[in-house]
Structure 1
Amino acid sequence: MKRNTLVIMVGAGAVLAGLLAWAFAPRPIAVEVATAAVGPYEQSIVEDARTRLRDRYVVTAPLAGRLARIILREGDAVAADDTVATLTPILPPMLDERTQREQNTRVEAAVAVVQRADANVQRARVGLELARAELRRTEQLARENFIAPAKVETDRLSMQAAQKELEAALQGRHAAEHELETARAALLVSRSPSAQVASFPLRSPVAGRVLKVMQPSETTVALGAPVLEIGDIAKLEIVTELLTTDAVQTRMGALVRIERWGSPVALEGRVSRIEPAAFTKISALGIEEQRVNVLIDITSAPSSWQALGDGYRVGVRIVTVAHPSVLRVPVSAVFPMPGEGMAAFVVAEGRARLVPVDIGGRNGAEAWVLGGIPAGAKVIVYPPAALRDGARVKTRSVPLAQQG
């Protein structure tokens, strides 16, 4: 064999061996990476909710009679003590002894309601004074750096809630006094034969809007029949039905973001009450769930949610955990290790390194890292199943909007 031929064959074999080695050599695994960064972190409970009026008032017929046609319609504004309907008493029932007793009973019940409303007002005033005193004490301690500023915010919200409780109690007392006056006037009409042919006006107990007209046409109504429903649309609250496990994590005064209400701008609110009694509800999948009503006050300016009405559907995001500055990574970057807690892959010198991490919490997009990953580290999001510790990787950065 000639020398040149031998050299060519050896060279070709070397090239072939090199090609085979290159073909079967392990390739770097393409991965997507994100940067561990410091920033604000929140955990929240997302649930559907609905709006409702804090108080609604039903105007009823204080005596049996002929109800004139009501010209008011749903949405019409009325002032306190405005005449909303007119009732002409029917003569025979007015002379009935049973009707007289019923009217006397209504007056006695109305007196009891007024007394209870007075007690509620006094209790609300005491609660407001206690809340103001607690806020003053907390502000003094905060100025001396004895307590956290969050305590001051909580006490300030408590004072605002106490103020609203007093306003509601005063309005309730006004409505109770109105009912008492109506009951006494009806009793006077039933006792005075000369007044039985006169028309009896039905007045609005509060200022607000007409929510529902039960009797739009002229008709004969019985004693106690509902005629109109009135409420103040400016005094809306939100009620949501939380699972009891979520309600336990919710605290009074917690920040709430109100979303999906028909505007791209989210409203803000605060949890005002968590009802103590739960109820059973059947889910869409037929599963029995224990839920509890949570009430939310809207704290955004009323001018920003004037379009909302009673019974509107909204979405709420109740913040349960909030930190202004923590180390965060995309939640898709951490995963459980069998019997070893949580872990993540960090890119170092072109290779994936498996590191254990301590997690303080997770939400739908981010994980709060307590330790194991330094700020600025590149972490692999959605790590492939074939990825192993020490494997070579080829990285591609993920946009922030896609890191969850």
Structure 2
Amino acid sequence: MSTRRTWPRHVVWGALGLGLLGLLAWALRPSPVPVNVARVTVGPFIDSVIEEGRTQLRNTWNVSAPIAGYLQRVTLEVGDNVEEGQILFQLEPSPAPALDVRTRQQAEDNLQAAQARFQAAQANLETARADRRFAEAEYQRYRQLHQRNLVSTAELEQRQNQRDRLRALENSAASGVEVARFEVESARALLAVASGQRSDADQPKLQVRAPVTGLVLTRYRCCEGSVSAGDPILELGSLDDLEIQVDLLSMDAVRLRPGMAVNITGWGGEPLKGEVRRIAPSGFTRTSALGVDEQRVPVIVDFSPRLDLATLGLGSGFRVDAEFLIWEAEQVLQIPTSGLFRHDGEWAVFVVEDGRAVRRTVEVGRRQGLVSQILAGLNENETLITHPGDRVAEGARVEADE
């Protein structure tokens, strides 16, 4: 006869309760946090600063009108080559101003007065000539009489003095005639002025020549017309003096040194090489597109080596991208910068170990955009969490999506 062992009822109910509690705990446990992860890698690392720049000419020459005058048409166009000493443009005297009715009437009256003075001067000259001829004849008669001792020496000297005085009066009258003639010509020229028109007669022209060999960068005036002294006409320069100005943030500019290598891209062709020539000792404030005041420092970059920039198509005022190479190495331990966060005043990352997030303190070196150099705290090929959120904590279960 077999006997069947029976469990006490309280044991059975206890086992069932424990099973239900286990099922409930398993059902209520937190699910793994989905995270993005990346590998710790070793490879080339470049610490650089990239900023937009603009080409410019180191030296330019603004050729302006040296005096006021009438500019003849400028035939040179932008981009034309010029040689030192070549005629750039010509200036001629300005046209005479137009005369109004009152001024013209005054000019006519002045001409008539000048003609009257000229006639009076001619009459005075005729009178002076007649007196001088009579004094000449008197002196000759008295000299013959003096030779025969019929008149005294004093009388002869008196006639000679009178002759000399009348000669001087004749010369003065002749000069008066010349002065009156010039006055007539001046009054006639003023009256004959055409209203605001240039004279058809040949006039002296001032030729302005090129101070250097180069090309025309800007033509401020092309058509003929009146110009004042100092008005700009042309701007000259040479592409051999082409350089790049890059306005960097002051916090980036202090990391640069003259002679640093620069990669020049974004101009429409193959990358070019350059080097830092000068870092300005003073900066300026510029408002960004977001309305933030930024302190900028001008940095001048030279092309290295010098190239035939004209054949490349580069000119003054062209946009380029300049990458300043501050530091570079071939074998550098690096991680995505998005995996870093601050914890107790130090840099830290979350490393995935056995499906859980483990916080680890790291020593960060150089940072370049999306990548940062790690000096200590991580090893190659370890997996770390990028963009850790609030749900990621020490020991939390995570589900990696690499």
Q: Are 1:277 and 2:277 counterparts?
A: no
Question: CA, structure 1 residues 302+39, in 2 after alignment: closer, same or farther (shift >3 Å)?
Answer: farther
2:335 pairs, out of 329, 335, 360, with 329
Give the greater-gyration-radius structure (CA).
2
SS of corresponding position for 1:249: coil
Q: Are 1:38 and 2:34 counterparts?
A: no
Q: Are 1:53 and 2:49 counterparts?
A: no
Counterpart residue identity of residue 225, structure 2? T
Partners in 2 of 1:279 and 1:28 — Cα distance?
52
Partners in 2 of 1:303 and 1:289 — Cα distance?
32
Contact 1:63 1:89 (C-alpha < 8 Å) held by counterparts: no
Counterpart residue identity of residue 220, structure 1? S
Where does residue 321 of structure 2 map in the other structure?
Answer: 315
Where does residue 253 of structure 1 map in the other structure?
Answer: 259
Unaligned residue ranges in structure 2 (runs of 5+): 1-5, 97-201
Where does residue 353 of structure 2 map in the other structure?
Answer: 348
Question: CA, structure 1 residues 296+74, in 2 after alignment: closer, same or farther (shift >3 Å)?
Answer: same
1:202 pairs, out of 182, 205, 208, with 208
Partners in 2 of 1:294 and 1:39 — Cα distance?
30
Counterpart residue identity of residue 79, structure 1? E
Q: Shift in Å at residue 289 of structure 1?
A: 4.3
Summarize deviations over 1:204-252 as a string: whole Å, max 9, x none: 2333321111220112334443221111235321112233332212211
Unaligned residue ranges in structure 1 (runs of 5+): 93-195, 398-404
Contact 1:352 1:393 (C-alpha < 8 Å) held by counterparts: yes
**Deviation larger for 10-19 or 64-73:** 10-19
1:235 pairs, out of 241, 246, 251, with 241
Q: Shift in Å at residue 294 of structure 1?
A: 1.1
2:397 pairs, out of 368, 392, 397, with 392
Q: Are 1:372 and 2:377 counterparts?
A: yes
Counterpart residue identity of residue 41, structure 2? A
Q: Are 1:66 and 2:70 counterparts?
A: yes
Q: Are 1:213 and 2:219 counterparts?
A: yes
**TM-score of the superposed pair, with normalisation by structure 1:** 0.62
Partners in 2 of 1:200 and 1:304 — Cα distance?
33
Q: Percent identity?
A: 39
Partners in 1 of 2:240 and 2:213 — Cα distance?
11
Q: Shift in Å at residue 55 of structure 1?
A: 1.2
SS of corresponding position for 1:387: coil
SS of corresponding position for 2:299: strand
Contact 1:91 1:197 (C-alpha < 8 Å) held by counterparts: no
Q: Shift in Å at residue 347 of structure 1?
A: 1.9
Partners in 1 of 2:277 and 2:311 — Cα distance?
19
Q: Shift in Å at residue 56 of structure 1?
A: 1.0
Question: CA, structure 1 residues 303+68, in 2 after alignment: closer, same or farther (shift >3 Å)?
Answer: closer
Partners in 2 of 1:235 and 1:321 — Cα distance?
28
Contact 2:309 2:315 (C-alpha < 8 Å) held by counterparts: no
Where does residue 87 of structure 1 map in the other structure?
Answer: 91
Q: Shift in Å at residue 8 of structure 1?
A: 11
Summarize deviations over 1:274-298 as a string: whole Å, max 9, x none: 1223334455566554432211113
Summarize deviations over 1:43-101 as a string: whole Å, max 9, x none: 33333322211111122334444322111222223333333223335699xxxxxxxxx
Q: How many residues align?
A: 289
Counterpart residue identity of residue 31, structure 1? V
Question: CA, structure 1 residues 255+73, in 2 after alignment: closer, same or farther (shift >3 Å)?
Answer: same
Summarize deviations over 1:360-386 as a string: whole Å, max 9, x none: 122221111000101121111112322
2:24 pairs, out of 17, 20, 27, with 20
Counterpart residue identity of residue 59, structure 1? V
Partners in 2 of 1:304 and 1:226 — Cα distance?
25
1:75 pairs, out of 51, 74, 79, with 79
Counterpart residue identity of residue 371, structure 2? E
- How is 1:155-166 mapped onto 2 (pairs within 5 angstroms)? none
**TM-score of the superposed pair, with normalisation by structure 2:** 0.62
Summarize deviations over 1:148-199 as a string: whole Å, max 9, x none: xxxxxxxxxxxxxxxxxxxxxxxxxxxxxxxxxxxxxxxxxxxxxxxx9444
Counterpart residue identity of residue 271, structure 1? V
Summarize deviations over 1:239-278 as a string: whole Å, max 9, x none: 1223333221221122333344345x54432211012233
